[in-house]
Amino acid sequence: MSVEVYYDDDADLGLIQGRKVAVIGYGSQGHAHALSLRDSGVDVVIGLPAGSKSRPKAEEQGLRVLTPAEAAAEADVIMILAPDTAQRTIYAESIAPNLAPGKALFFGHGFNIRYGLITPPADVDVAMVAPKGPGHLVRRQYVDGKGVPCLVAVEQDASGNAFPLALAYAKGIGGTRAGAIKTTFTEETETDLFGEQAVLCGGAAALVQTGFEVLTEAGYAPEVAYFECLHELKLIVDLMYEGGIARMRYSISDTAEYGDLSRGPRVVDSRVKEEMRKILGEIQSGEFAREWVAEDEAGRPNFAKWRAEGAAHPIEETGQKLRSMMSWVDRPLTETA
Ligand SMILES: NC(=O)C1=CN([C@@H]2O[C@H](COP(=O)(O)OP(=O)(O)OC[C@H]3O[C@@H](n4cnc5c(N)ncnc54)[C@H](OP(=O)(O)O)[C@@H]3O)[C@@H](O)[C@H]2O)C=CC1
Ligand SMILES: CC[C@](O)(C(C)=O)C(=O)O
Ligand SMILES: [Mg+2]
Ligand SMILES: [Mg+2]
């Protein structure tokens, strides 16, 4: 199955410059989209509740901030970049009453549409521009003249122009500099959830923590274990990012490569692959979405407990100490690079 990839020359920025865009939420993705759209010549307004702690930040950065309902009423394109679990209520209370034929409702992730938590009316465009990277790097790369690849999808094309409009939006945040792939809400949602659970966040964090535990429990210094299992991972992944697994293997020693080839498949073995398939099944069936929505509605008890346990893992204390000695690593996660 071949995919369609779009670059800057395929997108007409004028389409989004001619519209007013409301960005609802000003967190990781919200600030990145809003600031980069503004720098791309787009008229942007931010939608945040009166007591939101993001308000001063957005205002300090020169953006006009209204309530979500006011912003949705003013805008032609409404991009929801609030937490996935909050979107259903924001939509019902603040956005739906302010939709009108010809407007467009945009998402940065397909969760609420894929799992039927939001059902927009038939006379608005429904599209998605989903960067394949954390918001702070979406902004940092835009500022550096680069871009984070995006997935672009149209769920509902009331205007007949939803895809070019979404592509224009992707250009406005730097996505088409790297490439925007045309997909569906279902494909984006399911692959995104799988990636973050099994590989990028869940899988990688568990691999790092477990490697650190094995070394320190065997009596090796936590500092050595940290450098080996966490710090160096970035350097190894940088090589994969630049030239694939092959480039990483080109750069490492033959000894490391033999260990990689002979031992790697013992760590991530058929049992791990089977568990990954189970995780994908829970995503496809909606089981994960139901569990997460219920967890959120219950006040996130497990989430809070697991987050605290993660923060208390000994690797965090060791890392903090070591990173404070490396000024180029230990920098605040600034919004503007
Ligand atoms: N994080 C990422 O890099 C990525 C996220 N996405 C998607 O982007 C969307 C946003 O996620 P993310 O950027 O992580 O979110 P964050 O948690 O970083 O930020 C959420 C923002 O929404 C605000 N907010 C909370 N409640 C409301 C409300 N009721 N009305 C309006 N604004 C509200 C928060 O304000 P306050 O400061 O007051 O809490 C904050 O500004 C999600 O759909 C996510 O899946 C997609 C790709 C990557
Ligand atoms: C990998 C996590 C992510 O999907 C992302 C940054 O792309 C997210 O939801 O934050
Ligand atoms: Mg993602
Ligand atoms: Mg995600």
What's the complex ipTM? 0.99
Q: Does 210 lie in the same domain as 154?
A: no
Say how far apart CA 86 and CA 49 lie, in whole Å.
12
How far out from the chain centre does Cα 98 lie?
27
| Per-residue pLDDT, 1 | 72
Ligand nearest to the CA of 131: 1
Residue 188 in domain:
no
- Distance (angstroms) between ligand 2 centre and the Cα of 134 equals 6
Ligand 2 proximity of 199 Cβ (cutoff 6 Å): no
| CATH label of the domain that carries residue 219 | 1.10.1040.10
Same domain, yes or no: 133 and 113: yes
94 lines ligand 1 (CB under 6 A): no
- Per-residue tens of pLDDT for the chain, all 337 residues: 789 999 999 999 999 999 999 999 999 999 999 999 999 999 999 999 999 999 999 999 999 999 999 999 999 999 999 999 999 999 999 999 999 999 999 999 999 999 999 999 999 999 999 999 999 999 999 999 999 999 999 999 999 999 999 999 999 999 999 999 999 999 999 999 999 999 999 999 999 999 999 999 999 999 999 999 999 999 999 999 999 999 999 999 999 999 999 999 999 999 999 999 999 999 999 999 999 999 999 999 999 999 999 999 999 999 999 999 998 888 776 644 4
Task: Compute the distance from residue 80 Cα to the ligand 1 centre, in Å.
Answer: 8
149 phi-psi bin (left φ>0, alpha ψ -120 to 50, beta other): beta
Q: Which of 200, 283, 292 to mutate to test the pocket of ligand 2 (most atoms within 8 A of CB)?
A: 200
Q: Are residues 171 and 201 in the same domain?
A: no
Ligand 2 atom closest to the Cα of residue 196 is: 1
Cα–Cα distance, 294 to 85 (Å, whole number): 10
Domain assignment present for residue 287? The answer is: yes
CA angle 334, 335, 337 (to 5 degrees): 65
Q: Which residues contact 14 (CB under 8 A, 6 or more apart)?
A: 168
Q: How far apart are CA 93 and CA 293, in angstroms?
A: 18
Domain that holds residue 144: 5-183
Q: Based on the structure, what is the number of domains in the chain? A: 2
Same structural domain, 158 and 202: no
Q: Starting at the edge strand that comes first in sequence, how are the strands of the sheet with 125-131 ordered? A: 5-6, 180-183, 150-156, 125-131, 104-107, 77-80, 20-24, 43-47, 64-66
Q: Does residue 34 lie in a domain region?
A: yes
Q: Which atom of ligand 2 is found nearest the CA of 132? A: 7
* Residue 330, pLDDT score: 82
Does ligand 1 lie within 6 Å of residue 135's CB atom?
yes
Concatenating the DSSP letter of every residue in 15-59 gives HHHTSEEEEE--SHHHHHHHHHHHHTT-EEEEE--TT-TTHHHHH
In this structure, the number of other CB atoms found within 10 A of the CB of residue 151 comes to 26
Instruction: Report if residue 336 sits inside a domain.
Output: no
Residue 329 lies in a domain: no
Q: By three-state DSSP, how is residue 81 classified?
A: coil
